[in-house]
Amino acid sequence: MFNFFKRRYKRIIADIEILNKVPMEIAIYDLQGRYQFVNEHYLPDRTMARAIIGKDDLYYFTVAGIYEECAGERKHQFERALAERKITRFTERLEYKNTGKVLYYKRFFQPMYSRNGKKITGMSVFGSNITAIILAQKELKYLAYHDKLTGLRNRDAFNEMLDQIILDAERDTNGRQIAILYLDLDNFKLVNDSLGHDIGDKLLKEVSERMEATLRKNDLNFRLGGDEFVCIAKGIASDYQAGIIAEKLIKSISSPYNIMGHHINYLSVSIGISLFPNDGDNRETLVKNADIAMYHAKKSGKDNYHFHSDTGRVKSDDRLKMEKNLRELIKSKQFDQQLKLVYQPIVEDIGDNKYKIIGFESLLRWNSSELGNIPPDIFIPIAEKHNLIQKIGDWVLQNSCIQYKRITDKYKIPLYISVNFSAKQLFSTIVVDKINALLKKLNIKPENLQLELTETSFLSSEPQVNQNLRTLQKMGIKIAIDDFGIGFASLVYLQKVPASTIKIDKSFTQKVNNSEQHQDLVKSIIEMGKNLNKNIIAEGVEKTEQVQFLKSHKCIKYQGYLFSKPLPIKEFEKILEKKTENHYEINLEAD
């Protein structure tokens, strides 16, 4: 008898030894959820292990210093296993009061049965610590949805979250809107190019911190890549409210930065806003529209915001009419009846308040018989879009050259003519020959013709464009980058493009009297241009202070209303007639 007990006791001891050594947490509850057994892995502190026998989880969680709420899930799973009479699996999260430490466990509840297998006599629980796995998963998820540099959410997160927000909003009919604010930093490339990528990265980090600090708790910020950010603001009552958010962002992001000793005061931001549901009922449309609005903000001088709803000022009806009218005009070949060129002088400071005319730019005017006068920045993009610009451009080039030839022969002054050219005109393989033939026919030296193309034209993916530009440059024709600063080309890239002249966009020139910030920016553009060995012309000069500023930074070529508005040929000739040794005289003091 004694031997039997000894053997049985030994077996129990051996079983417990095994249970203790299993590298897994094991415990046994009775049907009321009171501990009957816990192994060493479950509770290495054996005194505490003995103390919890006969007690429930609430007691255990209290003595172990785990938040009591964490016991809720376990209770629920315990009851489920009992009711369903089968094994249940779940992930448990335990948070410790003192340290704030959080651990994750994979747990199983396995009901224990009587010998005949009918009655449940207790509950065994098994658990393993999976904290490392969960944290790794969280980290992976974090990395997949966050931008490494700034810590903001990334494009994937934006796509997923916006889709979800739209879904939620469709169900919710409180009449509130969602604003998508699309941010693109102004002049960021200049920072990268002039101060290096390290400073650029630090700057992006600070921009994201400022965004986070500026916005309300419920607004979401994302970095889409490069210097593009987006903010989703929910519960917007009116456009006005979205405008206020944009203003706050502009104010905060456009304030000066001090990064590793570099004072940067010319960074600003252009924001485009689209609103759900008015500007689109799906992500793609909302994003596209916010992007278009952002581009308009850039075009209208940067450091600015623009609503998509304001973008379609030229209604699509009018666009259609314009397209139709332009087609008819081209078909009729009666360009002279509706198209006209005006000319604006380009001058150079030659000291003593004297400004010599060195060339002039021809600018197109369209007086449509049906629609009246239409500004070129409205109809030219339409002509470009529908491939009508080629024929119109031919007419412009030919007439500009004819007038140029006539004027220079008549007044005997060395001038050049500058003609706006659209990238689409350079798609053709015969454009170079056409220009060559025209110059030969009129006996104009190639170096007296300058073609103005916008920054984006140089970035055209059409290989023919670049090839043509290089051939034209080899022939001696001058190429200028128009509206410099507005586009998105990096200065490093511009170093490689075949252009000898930079025309600083009028929005920059006009801002130099606004703030020191803009002065620094224009100064940097001039310096960069000089470093790239480019000839620099400031456009849109309207005030003498602008000239003074530009001059003090060695930019001495100008174009703008201060000298002359674009004029019809007769009036332009009057200026040339009044010339004293080919120059204007403008008294800066008296202005």
Contact residues: ligand C2E, CB under 6 A: 344, 363-364, 375-377, 380, 396, 420-422, 452, 482-483, 506, 540-542, 560-561, 566
By the rule CB under 5 A, 390 interacts with Ca ion: no
By a kind-dependent CB cut-off of 5 to 8 A, residue 74 interacts, out of Ca ion, ligand C2E, none, with none
Q: How far apart are CA 234 and CA 249, in angstroms?
A: 16
Report the residue number, 506 or 523, with the smaller CB distance to Ca ion.
Answer: 506
Report the residue number, 113 or 561, with the smaller CB distance to ligand C2E. 561
259 closest CA partner among 176, 178, 201, 335: 201
Cβ atoms < 10 Å from Cβ of 12: 10
Contact, 432 vs 439, CB < 8 A? no
Q: Does 227 bind Ca ion (CB under 5 A)?
A: no
Report how far residue 561's alpha carbon sits from residue 68's, in angstroms, rounded to the nearest whole number.
77
**Rounded least distance, CB 448 to ligand C2E, Å:** 18
- Residue 81 near residue 111 (C-beta atoms within 8 A): yes
For residue 362, the minimal CB distance to ligand C2E (Å) is 6
What six digits make up the tokens of 586?
Answer: 């403008």
Q: At what angle do helices 239-253 and 197-214 cross, to 10 degrees?
A: 140
501-533 burial string, b = 16+ CB within 10 Å, else e? bbbbbbbbbbbbeeeebbbbbbbbbbebbeebe
User: Residue 583 carries which DSSP code?
Assistant: E
β 339-349/354-368 pair status: antiparallel
Choose the one of ligand C2E, Ca ion, none that binds residue 450, judging by a C-beta under 5 to 8 angstroms depending on kind. none
The answer to whether the CB of 211 falls within 8 A of the CB of 221 is yes
Between 221 and 425, whose beta carbon lies closer to ligand C2E?
A: 425
CA–CA gap between residue 505 and residue 483 (Å, rounded): 4
CB of 539 to Ca ion, least distance (A): 5
Closest approach of Cβ 317 to ligand C2E, in Å? 22
Asked if residue 483 binds Ca ion (CB under 5 A), the reply is yes
Residue 90 token pair? 């779940």
Of 43, 77, 80, 44, nearest to 59 by C-alpha is 43
Residue 420 in the binding site for Ca ion (CB under 5 A) = yes
65 binds, among Ca ion, ligand C2E, none (CB under 5 to 8 A by kind): none
Q: Classify 376 in phi/psi space as left (phi over 0), alpha (psi -120 to 50) or beta.
A: alpha
Q: Rounded distance, CA 440 to CA 444, Å?
A: 6
Task: Identify whether the C-beta of residue 68 lies closer than 8 Å to the C-beta of residue 95.
Answer: no
Minimum distance from CB of 453 to ligand C2E (Å)?
A: 9
Query: Which CB atom, from 33 or from 381, has the smaller least distance to ligand C2E?
Result: 381
Residue 184: name its binding partner from Ca ion, ligand C2E, none (Cβ under 5 to 8 Å by kind): none
How far is residue 329's CA from residue 339's CA, in Å, rounded to a whole number? 9
Q: Note whether 455 binds Ca ion by CB under 5 A.
A: no
Q: Which stretch binds Ca ion (CB under 5 A): 161-169, 243-251, 417-425, 522-530?
A: 417-425
| Beta carbon nearer to ligand C2E, 111 or 540 | 540
By three-state DSSP, how is residue 355 classified? strand
Phi/psi for 66 (5° steps) reads -100, 140
| Nearest distance, CB of residue 340 and ligand C2E, angstroms | 11
Q: Is the dihedral of CA 328, 332, 337, 341 positive or negative?
A: positive
Closer CB to ligand C2E, 65 or 375, in the complex: 375
Q: How far is the CB of 136 from ligand C2E (least distance, A)?
A: 55
Q: Which two tokens stand for residue 301?
A: 């001088």
Q: Which is nearer to ligand C2E, 203 or 538 (CB)?
A: 538
**Interacting residue with Ca ion among 184, 279, 455, 482 (CB under 5 A):** 482
Query: How many C-beta neighbours within 10 Å does residue 566 have?
Result: 19
Stretch that binds Ca ion, among 37-45, 50-58, 269-277, 450-458 (CB under 5 A): 450-458
Least distance from ligand C2E to the Cβ atom of residue 426, Å: 11
Q: How far is the CB of 190 from ligand C2E (least distance, A)?
A: 20
Fill in the amino acid letter for 228. Answer: E
Count of other CB atoms within 10 angstroms of residue 410: 11
The answer to whether residue 510 forms part of the interface with Ca ion (CB under 5 A) is no
Comparing CB distances to ligand C2E, the nearer of 54 and 375 is 375
Least separation in angstroms between residue 170's CB and ligand C2E is: 42
Q: What residues numbered 537-566 form the site for Ca ion, per CB under 5 A?
A: 539
**From 9-17, 346-354, 391-399, 451-459, span contacting Ca ion (CB under 5 A):** 451-459
Nearest residue (CB) to Ca ion, 420 versus 509: 420
In the chain, the N- to C-terminal Cα span, in Å, equals 124
Cβ at position 562, least distance to Ca ion in Å: 16
CB of 565 to ligand C2E, least distance (A): 7
Greatest pairwise CA separation for the chain in angstroms: 136
Nearer to ligand C2E, 279 or 452 (CB): 452
Measure the CA–CA gap between 51 and 66, rounded to whole angstroms.
16
By the rule CB under 5 A, 452 interacts with Ca ion: yes
Closer CB to Ca ion, residue 192 or residue 507? 507
CB of 364 or CB of 522, closer to ligand C2E? 364
Q: Which stretch binds Ca ion (CB under 5 A): 261-269, 383-391, 535-543, 577-585?
A: 535-543
Q: What's the min distance (Å) between Cβ of 513 and ligand C2E?
A: 13
Given the complex with ligand C2E, which of 223 and 506 has the nearer CB atom? 506
Instruction: Give the C-alpha separation, 410 to 156, whole Å.
Output: 64
Which residues of the chain form contacts with Ca ion (CB under 5 A)? 420, 452, 482-483, 539
